[in-house]
Amino acid sequence: MTTVVHTAADLRREAGTGRRRAVVMTMGALHDGHATLVREARRLVGADGIVIVTVFVNPTQFGAGEDFDAYPRTLDDDIVVAGHAGADLVFAPSATEVYGPTGAFRPDSVTVDPGPAGGILEGASRPGHFRGVLTVVAKLLSLTQPDTALFGEKDYQQLVLIRRMVSDLNLPVDVVGVPTVREPDGLARSSRNRYLSDDERASAALIPAALDAAAAAAVDGPSAAVDAGKAVLATDSRFELDYLVVTDPELGAAPESGDARILVAARLGATRMIDNRPARMGA
């Protein structure tokens, strides 16, 4: 049976000591993508280990005009999904439990600066987003004290920045990236997919199709890959493209040959969607 706790004190008591520990951090609205992370966490720590799922809609990573108040909160369902996937504990703290009386950053708060890579792509579109992400991840790592933390590759920039933070700050945790879980038509599983209308949902499959087209054109280099991906999205005028870019695996300049990452962000109706995939540039 999965135990649910809401305070750091209860978390420490229920988690105990001496067992290998893995954490999966979520903002709730759990789906099979999250369940895959939990199942992998269980596999990594084994039957004798402990798997903790955090459910916390983090206010500091939402910008002005974003959907913090509308973000789905489905804790009862989340507990069921987490438990079926193998979680031992669900830690669902309040904002004041995480940030103190203000429930958010204070003007004098100590926070985690994501560095230059936090100001590109999602960071350029959502100023301050990764400051909020890295700060809450650091807090939750401190609270849960895991040996391993698992994150999905769908939020690829987030994964890269978390790995960089853990390395640069010498945090004693192994960060594991888990491949994106997709729908039968290729669309990445996301809590925000529920915001799409039926018609928008059908068109959303153009996002993974654009990534696939870009990857197929990568033999001719980054520019060809970008052009091929954009051409796919241009077939539906409802897409508002934010970016479709090629980077190296660490979000640096696009290589002319070798391993790369293709990342895309686009708005379809009221829903902003992101996705990515690996690719190989050049012949």
Per-residue pLDDT of the chain (283 residues; tens, 9 = 90+): 899 999 999 999 999 999 999 999 999 999 999 999 999 999 999 999 999 999 999 999 998 777 788 888 999 999 999 999 999 999 999 999 999 999 999 999 999 999 999 999 999 999 999 999 999 999 999 999 999 999 999 999 999 999 999 999 999 999 999 999 999 999 999 999 999 999 999 999 999 999 999 999 999 999 999 999 999 999 999 999 999 999 999 999 999 999 999 999 999 999 999 999 999 999 7
Q: Which of 181, 124, 186 is nearest to 155 (CA)?
A: 181
Expressed as residue numbers, the domain containing 211 is 191-277
Q: Which residue has the tokens 């039968």?
A: 184
Neighbours of 208 (CB within 10 A): 21
Domain assignment present for residue 59? The answer is yes
Residues 23 and 140 grouped into a single domain: yes
Of 178, 204, 238, at which residue does a domain stop?
178
pTM of the model: 0.96
Residues 143 and 219 grouped into a single domain: no
Domain assignment present for residue 184? The answer is no
Domain assignment present for residue 98? The answer is yes
Q: Which of 75, 136, 143, 130 is nearest to 104 (CA)?
A: 136
User: What domain count does the chain have?
Assistant: 2
Residues 52 and 111 grouped into a single domain: yes
Q: Which of 66, 29, 27 is nearest to 193 (CA)?
A: 29
Neighbours of 209 (CB within 10 A): 17
Of 178, 210, 234, at which residue does a domain stop?
178
Q: Which residues are catalytic?
A: 34
Residues 29 and 166 grouped into a single domain: yes
Of 178, 206, 222, at which residue does a domain stop?
178
Q: What CATH number should be reported for the domain holding residue 8?
A: 3.40.50.620
275 three-state secondary structure = strand
